[in-house]
A and B are shown apart, each in its own frame.
Chain A
Amino acid sequence: QVQLQESGPGLVKPSQTLALTCAVSGASISGGDYWTWIRQHPGKGLEWIGYIYKSANTFYNPSLRSRIAMSIDTSKNQFSLTLDSVTAADTAIYYCARDPSRAGRGQFDFWGQGKLVTVSS
């Protein structure tokens, strides 16, 4: 059974960088899956942030691309997200998820429990 667990600060100040990590168990982060971040604004729908695949390949939501970076730590079997220059509009629950589909086109079969990140001074 694949399990994912998000971690990171729950409060970030405006203009600073949001940084989250997703620890994966039950699957190798170096395998053929697409490791994904998705967020959900309070009371709203789901928004795909992007994925990282085999350490070097990334694909980001065009609307967030200029502020995002994702990376993988194979030694810890985890992947990470940073989001720069945050504003209150980035307040959301951030989920990490696995996408085992052939081309990372969305088929999120395992999700973390979600991390609420609030942007506030």
Chain B
Amino acid sequence: SYELTQPPSVSVSPGQTATIACSGDDLGHRYTSWYQQKSGQSPVLVIFQDTKRPSGIPERFSGSNSGNTATLTISGTQAVDEGDYYCQAWDSTTAVVFGGGTKLTVL
């Protein structure tokens, strides 16, 4: 079955750039989406089709995808960006797959 791997945690100082990686076999040839989930809330789509931002998502969120790794980048990270981040892709046998999630801490 297809799997996506994320680091369990990432820490960043306020104002700095946070980078969250998501790895999977040949991931660069699959569209990747990213979701932010704050404690006790439903997930929110922050990036889709590798690089696109939904309406209302701040410009500091960006995405890239190449080779076996997709990356979510948050520039000028703010305290409000703390939460869990999940990558997601699609595979023909496993269908929709989520990564295990990365806890972003802003300290």
Contacts and interface: CB of A to CB of B under 8 A. Distances in A.
Interface stretch (B11-19, B71-79, B82-90): B82-90
Which residue among B89, B93, B96, B99 has the maximum number of chain A CB atoms within 10 Å of its CB? Answer: B96
Contacts of A105: 31, 90, 96
A105 B94 CA distance: 11
Chain B contact residues: helix, strand, loop or mixed: strand
Interface residues of B, number: 24
B56 to A, nearest CB: 10
Contact of B43 (A46, A60, A62, A107): A46
A36 B49 CA distance: 18
B33 A108 contact: yes
B23 to A, nearest CB: 15
Measured as residues with beta carbon below 8 angstroms from the partner, the interface class of chain A is: 20 to 34
B43 A108 contact: yes
A46 B96 CA distance: 10
B92 to A, nearest CB: 10
A48 B97 contact: yes
A118 to B, nearest CB: 17
The 9 lowest CB-CB distance pairs between A and B, nearest first, are A105-B90, A48-B96, A111-B42, A46-B98, A106-B96, A107-B48, A45-B101, A109-B45, A45-B100
Interface of B: 1, 31, 33, 35, 42-45, 48-49, 54, 86, 88-90, 93-101
